[in-house]
Amino acid sequence: MKAAVAISLAMSLAAGAAQAGRSCENKAPDAANVQRAMTLAEHTARALDASGAQVVVLARAGQDLSKYGLAWSHLGLAYKDGARWRVVHKLNACGSARADVYRQGLGEFFLDDLWRYEAVWAVPTPEVQQRLLPVLEDGARARALQHAPYSMVSYAWAGFGAAFGPVIILSLWWERMTRAGALAGIVTGAVTVLVWKQFGWLGLYEIVPGFILGWLATVVVSPLGPAPSATMSTAHVAVQREFERIGAH
């Protein structure tokens, strides 16, 4: 990946934070902002043409993320389509985890109530560009880049939550839980997430069945073996009393 290149109109807009894609506020476009967006698109197109690239990673400053140490809020893959540039990027619906992949021109990509009218891009190696270009040009292959839900870490959190969530909760509130039951719940929850993710049954987020089955496995297996030791039971009672003391019961 070559070094990133930036372009700026040297102006900023003190507007409220906008989500990726169109602003969630239902308001008419401001003529001045539209002009700034179109000017930025024109300048960006000229600079991309001069770069000689066919595919770049293009970023915009849609909202002020400076408190997180970030300068850019959204990016997409821009590619040369004849004489024009188009951008394939992922947008989420306002206030939800629903998302889809969109193909837009540079003008529309920047027409987003930007916080700063600036763009930055990085040029992949020629080999990477050659592999990406046919994917971006093909609508079906480009849409295949989309994976719901929107969060990139939701799969990992599903596995973590389904494997350890039931065990942690039951260990606090159920004295009869055993080591064997805990292991059964951890394995069942994790495996359920892995399998459910692959088949996508019912369109249900995999943490839900994983958590339920992990809970059931813990509850079913625990009574099948020896009860917890007296030491563990005493510790559990002490924890319960502490919860009652602080009003968490």
Q: In whole numbers, what is the pLDDT of the chain averaged over residues?
A: 84
**Burial bucket for residue 226 (CB in 10 Å: 0-12, 13-18, 19+):** exposed
The tens digit of pLDDT for each residue in 121-161 reads 999 999 999 999 999 999 888 887 776 555 557 778 899 99
Max CA-CA distance within the chain? 78
Q: Which amino acid is at 140?
A: A
The tens digit of pLDDT for each residue in 100-109 reads 888 999 999 9
For helices 179-199 and 154-173, angle between their N-to-C axes, nearest 10 degrees: 150
Per-residue pLDDT at 249: 54
**Residues 6 or more apart whose Cβ sits within 8 Å of residue 13:** 33, 36, 113, 114, 115, 116, 117
For helices 154-173 and 207-221, angle between their N-to-C axes, nearest 10 degrees: 30
The tens digit of pLDDT for each residue in 64-95 reads 898 989 999 889 999 999 999 999 998 877 76
Neighbours of 133 (CB within 10 A): 16
